[in-house]
Amino acid sequence: MSNNAQKLDFATVIASAVHDMKNSLTLLLDTLDDTASEQSIAATPLQEKLLQAQHEGKRLNRNLIQLLALYRLERRQLFINITENGVAELLEDVAMENQQLLDARNIKLEIDCERGLIGFFDRELISGIVNTIINNSYRYTKNTIRLSGKNQGRYLCIHIEDNGPGYPEKMLHGESNTDSPIDFQTGSTGLGLYFAAQIARMHSNSECHGYTETSNDGINKGGKFSLFLP
C-alpha cells in the first residue's frame, strides 16, 4: 500500500477541522439570520446587535477560508477553477448578502455594471474577495459604497469605492506586488488585501496576470479598491 494513504498530514487535519467549524458556522449564521429577520425586532437596537454578531461570524468564516487557501497556496495545493460568469450577477449576489447589514447602518450600496458583461474567473474566490472589501468599506465609509464592473482593454475591472477617509498611507499601492511581505500590524485588512492580490495573480490568460490596486480616488477621495482580471 502506498504511504500516502496512511500518512495523516497536517493539510488533512486542517481540512477536517475546517469542515467541522464550517458546519457550526453555517448553523450559527442561519440562526442569527432567522432571529434578526423577526418582524417584532425590526429596527430595534437588538436587531442591530444581532446583525453585528452576524457580521463578525461572516468575518470569522472569511478569515478561515483565506487562512486555509493561503496555506494551500504556499504548499502549491491551491487550484483555481476559472469559469464564465456574469459580472452584474456576481455584484448583485454579493450586494444582496450584505444588504441587511448595510441597511441597518443606512449605508447606500450602488451597483454600476452593464447587464450581460461576462468575465472569466473563479466565482467563489472572487466573490469572497469582493465580500471582504465591502466589509472593510462598511467599517470606514461615511454612507455610500459603490460597486462597478467594466471591461478595460484586456482586463475586466471591478472597483469597490466608498466615501470614507480612504486608505492609510502605508496601505496604498499601485499595481500589487505580491512578492513583498506585507505588514500584518494593520489587522485583518492586511490579510484580506494580501489574499486578494494572490488570487488575482493566479488568474491568467495568454501571459497576462491579474492584479489589484488600492487608491484614494473613491467617492470624495474615499478608498478605492480595484481588481483587474485578464
- State the burial class of residue 166 (Cβ atoms within 10 Å of its Cβ: 0-12, 13-18, 19+): buried
Assess 69 for contact with other proteins (CB under 8 A).
yes
Is residue 27 a contact point for other proteins (CB under 8 A)?
Answer: yes
Question: CA–CA distance from 118 to each of 41, 129, 132 (Å)?
Answer: 40, 18, 22
Beta bridge partners of 208: 205
Whose Cβ is closer to other proteins: residue 88's or residue 197's? 88
The CA distance from 196 to 211, in Å, is 8
Which residue lies nearer to other proteins by CB, 76 or 185? 76
Spatial CA neighbour of 81 closest among 119, 129, 121, 117: 121
Residue 22 binds other proteins (CB under 8 A): yes
Q: What torsion do the CA atoms of 177, 180, 183, 189 make, to the nearest 10 degrees?
A: 30
The binder of other proteins chosen from 79, 152, 169, 180 (CB under 8 A): 79
> Angle CA(124)–CA(136)–CA(60) in degrees, nearest 5?
60
**Of 92-100, 133-141, 157-165, 219-227: span binding other proteins (CB under 8 A):** 92-100
- Contact flag: residue 39 with other proteins (CB under 8 A): no
Binding residue for other proteins, selected from 46, 67, 68, 70, defined by CB under 8 A: 68
The residues of the shown chain that bind other proteins, judged by CB under 8 A, are 1-2, 4-5, 15, 18-20, 22-23, 25-30, 33-34, 61, 68-69, 72, 78-82, 84, 89, 93, 96-97, 99, 116, 120, 124, 205-206
